[in-house]
Amino acid sequence: MSARPERPQFCPWCGSPIGYEPHEHEPRYESLAEKARARGEDVPPLPERVQDALSGDSFAGVCPGCRTISHVVGHRANEE
């Protein structure tokens, strides 16, 4: 089996090749939970599988085919 690429390579909408670039990403759930705690609200933790899906490397790219900006979060290269 071949290894996964280090970054996403294709548009999720039309399949055109995209030159994705690394993109800084702060998971939104973290900042929302922080704001809620500042208001005195009790915030339950997200399930681990959800946190795993929303964490990881982040990439952004513009598709030359459908002209859509794609933002990929959670891409994990070479994991089994």
Residue 37 — pLDDT band, cuts 50, 70, 90? very high
**Mean pLDDT, residues 41-52:** 87
Q: What is the percentage of the chain residues whose pLDDT exceeds 70? A: 84
CA distances from 13 to 3, 29, 66 (A): 23, 25, 8
Work out the mean pLDDT of the chain and round it to a whole number: 82
Measured distance CA(29)–CA(22) in Å, rounded: 20
Whether the Cβ atoms of residue 46 and residue 38 lie closer than 8 Å to each other? no
To the question of pTM greater than 0.85 for the whole model, the response is no
Q: Which two tokens stand for residue 8?
A: 């996403």
Residue 75 has pLDDT above 80, yes or no: no
